[in-house]
Amino acid sequence: MDSKPSLVVHRLILMGINGTYESNFKTGLNIIRGSMDSGKSTILHMINYCLGGSNKKILYEEVKAKVRTIFLEVSFNGKVFTIERSLREQRTAVKVFSCSYEDRADVFPQFMAADSTGAMPDGWLSDFILEQLGIARVKIKESLVRVNADEDRLSFRDLMKLMFLKQTEVGSDALLDYKNQVVFIKNVAVQKFVYNIHDERMASLQTQRKLESDILRQLKSTQETLSKFLKDVGVPLDEFAFGDKIDNAKQLIQDLDDAVEKVKVDFAFNSVASIELRKTIGLLRSELDEKNRNVIAIKKRITDFSKLKSTYRIELDNIQLSKLARPFLSNTPIEKTIACPMCSTDLPIATQAIPEEEIDAVERSVNNKLSGLDDTIKNALERAGVLQSEASALELQIQQHTQLFDTNNLSSLSPLISMIETAEKAKVQAHVDLASLKKNLSIYRKYGETQEKINSKQSVISNLDLLIKDIEAGLTGVQEIIAKLKGTFSRYMESSGVQNVHGISYSNQFVPSFRNMSYYDHLSGGVRTVMSIGIYITRLSYALEASCNIPPFLMIDTPGQNIGRKRSSDDNDSVSDPAIYEKIYSQLLNVVNLAEDKSIPCQIIVVDNDFPDILSNPANIGKYHLVKHFQKDNPNFEKGLIHDA
């Protein structure tokens, strides 16, 4: 084949109600370690879920309480995609963004069904992944012996079984559905396709080649139609043009933001002066109001004092009249009456007369009161005059400050307000233009997805052409491939630390034998554990060294099962269980080194409770990536996948 399929997981992001939970991965060996029940295995099953698997294993209490959506950033054949799935609703559409996780807001997603029974606008997720990997969606027979056996279309889920060694499958005597022979036989057929063994399948491949060619013609026709439409509506078919325009729009918005902030600073400075001036005017008005109230109060007192003075004046006149009348009253008959000069009451002449000195005393008292009232009224008039003068001065000050305030607003604040309004309007328009550019870019990228589908389809057809050519030339012998698998598995077992290595073979069903016993017949769980991991490592190694319809990608959950981690005092260091455990990791490192030597993207993700000594060796520290290290009682580490549960 021209190129090998590749699958690399970059990030797993769990979107929760309180934030996100993120795991980052690299090519090569990735380790997820920690204590039991910390969510290590959940990470692998969530990756599997985003690639079209079931959510059954991940719906436990902590996850359901905190997580709502799962994102997987992954690359197929070097092209980055972000897959989004709802945690609970596995039947809802899977969203696929043709970009990284951060850029998904600028891209229209494709809506796909998670399984073949669903109906979504952009098809089935499995077909999409196979297409991106350049793997043909061939028909797989359910029986290798019955001529009329039913055929089932290849699914990416069929390949995932060969790339994900689950915890319950490590060392299992039912590995690859061995106890369900119908499914097991299908898995064998899938492996034949993986290894490019196409005995008696020339007609099927040619039919598939014709089908893929028909789809390619449809895609090219669709692309031509889209191209004409985009040109008609003025959407340029150049992503770089969009990039420059979007960058310019963003820069314009930033420049406007900076300008508005500067104007607002000037506005704030001028506003402070304006506020102080307005505050001063307010204080002056308050002072003026107080003086006016005082003037009114003084004038009222003057009025009251003037009325009292008039009363005293009348009283004094009556006293003086009484004094003038006294000489004449002595000649008046005693039986007569006379009106009182003070109150006009009739008084008998016989009434006892008030002594002269008392009348003089009353007269002096009234004169004193009149004199006091004159002084008080005079002082009040003078005080009122002063207050009125001060009020006039305040009115002049208020007038001057008001004119200054109005002038300041007109010359400084009003232009600033106008500038802010103009800039804000320009920002709104810039945001509208940016949104339009992003929308057009998304439309263009949708057009670009058609080109990517064409490229993927051309790759599939090219691979099919090579397969057909190889079959016609007789280059795909099953025994040759079995021999290569046996050789790789033999080297693995010889380096595994397991004793008494002999009798190794590989059946036509891709089942290895060790000590002349099939994998499924071994009673030792430890031996089956080593062999099961060896089966997957052998397949991965073959994918790196030969033409293969499977990406060099492997997930292993707890490889140390059935293998003791404590060394007994009488153990031989080279063949003890701990040594066997270490050699599993040693051989994983060998696969990674092989991929690096061949410059092939390869990824292995391992979940384990323990941590092998070999990875603590300074020589190997840079040869693996620690994704997560969970510790429940250590505050320096996350306690688990859902660390705030």
Question: Residue 330: inside a domain, yes or no?
Answer: yes
Residue 34 CB partners (closer than 8 Å, separation 6+): 40, 609, 628, 629, 630, 631, 637, 640
Of 225 and 310, more confident: 310
Mark which of 393, 422, 442 sits at the end of a domain.
442
Listed range (195-204, 211-220, 426-435) with the worst mean pLDDT: 195-204
State the CATH number of the domain containing residue 177: 3.40.50.300
The total of structural domains in the chain comes to: 2
Phi/psi-derived region of residue 52, left when phi > 0, alpha when psi is between -120 and 50, beta in every other case: left
The residue that leads in pLDDT, 191 or 328, is: 191
**pLDDT of 640 strictly over 90:** no
Specify whether 193 is located in the same domain as 289. Answer: no
Is 324 inside a domain boundary?
yes
CA separation for the pair 462, 5 (Å, rounded): 13
CATH of the domain at 274: 1.10.287
Specify which of 136-145, 342-351, 550-559 reaches the highest per-range mean pLDDT.
550-559
182 and 146 Cβ atoms separated by less than 8 Å = no
Residues 134 and 270 in one domain: no
Domain shared by 428 and 483, yes or no: no
Task: Give the number of C-alpha atoms closer than 13 A to the C-alpha of residue 524, restricted to the C-beta side.
Answer: 15
CB 459 within 8 A of CB 130: no
Distance CA 143, CA 158 (A): 15
> From CA 637, how far away is CA 645, in angstroms rounded?
14
Cβ-contact 425, 287 below 8 angstroms: no
User: What is the Cα–Cα distance from 280 to 578, expressed in whole angstroms?
Assistant: 87
Does 448 fall in a domain? no
Give per-residue pLDDT as tens, 599-612.
999 999 999 998 99
Is 24 or 4 the better-scoring residue by pLDDT? 24
Examine residue 207 and state whether it is found in any structural domain, yes or no.
Answer: no
Domain limits at 310? Answer: 241-442
Based on the fold, state whether residues 434 and 481 are members of the same structural domain.
Answer: no
Q: Is residue 119 part of a domain?
A: yes
Mean pLDDT of 4-19: 94
Q: Are residues 504 and 618 in the same domain?
A: yes
In which band, very low, low, confident or very high, does the pLDDT at 238 lie, cut at 50, 70 and 90? low
Query: Would you place residue 574 in the very low, low, confident or very high pLDDT band (cuts 50, 70, 90)?
Result: very low
Instruction: For residues 417 and 270, state if they share a domain.
Output: yes
65: in domain = yes
State residue 237's pLDDT score.
56
Cα dihedral: 219, 222, 227, 229 (round 10): -170
* 314 and 424 part of one domain: yes
Residue 483 and residue 374 share a domain: no
Who has greater pLDDT, 28 or 315? 28
Tell me: pLDDT of 386 over 60. Answer: yes
31 and 179 share one domain: yes
- Does the pLDDT at position 631 exceed 60? yes
Give the mean model confidence (pLDDT) for residues 227-256.
68
pLDDT at residue 26 is higher than 90: yes
Same domain? For 63 and 191 the reply is: yes
CA atoms within 13 Å, Cβ hemisphere of 170: 22
Looking at residues 249-273, what average pLDDT do you find?
66
Among residues 442, 461, 490, the one where a domain terminates is 442
Tell me what the pLDDT averaged over the chain comes to. 82
**Both 13 and 147 in a single domain?**
yes
Residue 573: pLDDT band by 50, 70, 90 thresholds? very low
- Residue 531 and residue 429 in one domain: no
Confidence of residue 119 (pLDDT cuts 50, 70, 90): confident
Residue 461 belongs to a domain: no
- Does position 235 have pLDDT exceeding 80, yes or no? no
Does a structural domain hold residue 637? no
552 DSSP assignment: S
pLDDT at 343: 65
Write out pLDDT tens, residues 466-499.
Answer: 766 766 565 556 888 999 999 999 999 999 999 9
DSSP 556-602: EE-TTTTS--SPPTTS-TTTSHHHHHHHHHHHHHHHHHHHHHTT---
* 433 against 81, higher pLDDT: 81
User: Which pLDDT score, from 0 to 100, does residue 144 have?
Assistant: 52
